[in-house]
Every structure is written in C-alpha cells, then in structure tokens.
Amino acid sequence: MDIKTERRDGILTFAIRGRLDGYGAGQLADAVEASLQADDRSVVFDLAGMSYLSSAGIRILIATKKRLKERGGTLALAGIQDYPKSVLDMAGVTPIFSLYPDLEVAVAACRRSKDSLSVINDLVRAPVVRDGVAYTVEPASTRSSSLLVTGDLDKMLHARLTESDIRAIPFSALPYSLGLGALGENVADALPLLGEMITLHGSVVWLPTDGNATPDFFTPVKDAGKPCIYTGYNVTLYGPFHEIITIDAGDEGGIALSDIYRTIFDFARERKRDFSGVVALAMWAVVDGVCSLGVKRSPIAASSPANGLPINAEENAKEWLEENDEPKYRGETMVSFGFGIDYSACSGEHLSALTDRNRPKTQQLQLHNHGVIFRGVPWDASLDLTRQIERIVTGAEFVDMRHLKDNTRIRRAKVGVAYISEIAV
C-alpha cells in the first residue's frame, strides 16, 4: 500500500492507494501518528485509489474518527470505490462516516466546518488583526503583580556561583518561575548540575549540565518540604494575569516570540497601562518551530572563564552555551513561562536584577523564556488557560525542555499576561 500525506487549505489529507489490509492498517496508523499535529481538527482520507478494505483497516478509520471527535473535528472519506464501500456497508459502519465524492469536496466541507468554529469564537470576542495575526484579548484581573528575583544575575553570567549563593526553595513557592536550578539531595549534590529550569504549578523541569542534554522533571503529589528546588538564579511571578490573549497566526509560518512581545507592549501603550516596562507571560501554544539556547556547564566559581568575561560573551559562548537555530517540534504543544523588558518604557527599582548589563545599547527588548514541549495535546482555544496548563504538565507526554530563543515561532497560543508593577529582590 502507498500513502501520500499533504495539506490542502490547512486540512491534513492522506491519499491511500492499494490494499488497506492488516499490514496497510499498521502503515496508516503510523502515518496518522507522525502527521497529526496539535491544532489539526479534521482529516481527509482520499480513498479513490484504495482497492481493498478489511476489518483491520476499518478499525484504523474508526480510531482516527474517535480521536478527531475528541477535538471537535471530523474524519472525511473521499472517493471510496464500490468494493471498499460494500465492506463498510456489510460491517454496518457506513452511517458513522462522512463520505464525499472526491478530495476537493471533502476538503471544502472540512474547511467550512473549521471556519464555522472560528466565526462562533469571533462572535463571542472580536479579535484585533495585526500583520495577519489575530489577537483576542480578554480582561482577567485588576490586582497588581510582581516578580521576585532570587540570586545574583551577574554572578551567574560570570560563573561565580558558590554553595553560599544557592537557595533551597519549596515547590509550592514557585507557581510560575524560570531560572537556573537543579534537584538533588543537598546543595553540594545540585551545584555542579545547575541548568536551565522552569516551574509550572508545582512541577519542575530542568536541563542538568551533565553533558547529556536530556531534561529531567518532577511533579510532587504534595509539598512536604523535601526534596526542594536548588537555584542559583530564579524569577518568580506573584500575582494574577491581567489579560488572557488568544493568538492565531494561521497554519503556515507562525509568529516569532519577539513579535508577540512587541505586540503586547504596543497594546500596553495603547491602553496606557501603569507598569514598570516589564511583562510576564505564561503560554500554552502550538509551535511552528522551537529555536533554543542554554548553558552547557554549571556556572560555578570553580570553572569561571579565565578572561573575566561573561559566559555569553562572544569569546566564551561556544564553550559555555549550546545554541540551536534549526526549528524543532513543528505542530507540537508547548507550555512556557518568561518575561520581557521594553527598555523604551522602563521604570522602577531593581530592574538591574533582570537586566544583562552586557546587552547591546541599541537593544529595545530583552526576553527570557523557557518552554516545555509535550505531545498528544489537542488544541482548543476555548479551554481555561490555567487549568489546561495544570492538566498538560501533570498528564501529557513530556518531550523536551529548552531556553527559548526570540525567533521561536508560534502558530497558535493562549497567553496569560501580567503587567509587572514591582520587582522585588
């Protein structure tokens, strides 16, 4: 059997030629698993070239239909021939499928269904469209939010951390946070493994600097105080999100993380928001490509650069930082947390606790974001952001965790935005 996979007008299609028997059913199941992305709602099976169908093939059709139904979508069968159609009839399952005469009609029907869902959502909350990207903004809270900074950014960047700089923090104290951390029996155990870290509702994901480039994670059922999180630098959000923004950048290309921040800062200026020039974002997204950056070695005093320059200086970057501009995980789910600084709107005390003093003076934005990649999570913009993040981090299939570069691209997202009024150290 031969399977050709492509997208037509944003709808995933599979053209099947030959016999959909026991062996072919396995091939089709693998093809669906490899191609179905988090924001796919509907699929078309083009059966014009399928000559044979058995119960094994029918099981795959039914399993795919059930999977799509959970997403509020559908499976369309196009161009089915007489013999396979008679097999469906004899099995008594023809009525459960949507049958269309050819591929074009099936794609158009799925497209109409997709557009109808968008219209319903648009009627509830009218989106703002900028540069082809739709932003739907919902107010959330009016209470103030702050960032608490633990540790010394300059010491971290110059690899001068010692045991006395490490803080032990209980899981429950870090609802949304990111920084440099590790898990271990004690400080001495954790210190040489300090790496990129993110916490999300009591779950911690971190990238140990042991040379294996493999993230680790832990979700406690309850916080008993031990084990705890050891951190050399951490930024934690305290307070609510002021807005929930749903972003739709379409099916192709997505929008850069930096452009999302620029738009949010533009919204803040237009609404005359009273804040320090800093925003914190928690995001549930479908990515169009993750580009990453991260420390390869724990920035401890015993291994600080001999030239006295920070680890992100050009002379030291290759030795200390792992950088990947090759986009990964297209169509997968990401949960992230981070913050952005707009230097044109900056005010407030302690901004230096977040600021890399070696940044180029012409740099308007400084972003710091970590993201966790998950698989098998359908996209549904109607779901509550906080509850969905909790469900994902405790139950979804974990794939990877990385420090996000600003050119990471987002296809769709639901974003909690906190306008920061205070930075505490």
Task: Give the model confidence (pLDDT) of 309-340 as tens digits.
Answer: 999 888 998 999 999 999 999 999 999 999 99
Task: Give the model confidence (pLDDT) of 375-405 as tens digits.
Answer: 989 998 888 999 999 899 888 899 999 999 9
Please name each of the domains of the chain with its CATH number: 2-120 (3.30.750.24), 125-425 (no CATH)
For 342-347, the CB contacts below 8 A with 24+ separation are: 342/261, 342/265, 342/277, 342/278, 342/279, 343/277, 344/277, 345/265, 345/268, 345/269, 345/275, 345/277, 346/276, 346/277, 346/278, 347/276, 347/277
Residue 167 in this model has a pLDDT that exceeds 90: yes
Task: Give the model confidence (pLDDT) of 249-260 as tens digits.
Answer: 988 889 999 999
pLDDT at residue number 381: 87
Residue 142 in this model has a pLDDT that exceeds 90: no
CB 419 within 8 A of CB 145: yes
Cα separations in angstroms, 419 against 242, 258, 364: 7, 17, 18
pLDDT at residue number 270: 86
Which range has the top average pLDDT, 58-67, 208-217, 352-361, 410-419? 410-419
pLDDT at residue number 347: 64
pLDDT at residue number 114: 64
Least-confidence region, from 70-79, 153-162, 310-319, 339-348: 339-348
Closest CA to 135 of 122, 145, 154: 122
Region 12-36: mean pLDDT is 92
Task: Round to whole Å and give the CA distance between 42 and 12.
Answer: 7
Classify residue 85 by burial, with Cβ atoms within 10 Å: 0-12, 13-18, 19+: middle
* Percent of the chain whose predicted confidence (pLDDT) is above 90: 58
The token pair that represents 97 in the structure block: 């499928």
pLDDT at residue number 252: 81
The token pair that represents 105 in the structure block: 């009609």
Task: Give the model confidence (pLDDT) of 342-363 as tens digits.
Answer: 988 886 566 888 887 777 777 8
Binned at pLDDT 50, 70 and 90, residue 223 comes out as low
pLDDT at residue number 341: 94
The mean of the pLDDT values for the chain is 89
pLDDT at residue number 144: 92
Task: Round to whole Å and give the CA distance between 384 and 294.
Answer: 31
The token pair that represents 255 in the structure block: 């929008």
Residue 150 in this model has a pLDDT that exceeds 50: yes
pLDDT at residue number 120: 44
- Quick check: helix, strand or coil at residue 179? strand
Task: Give the model confidence (pLDDT) of 108-131 as tens digits.
Answer: 888 876 655 554 454 446 688 989
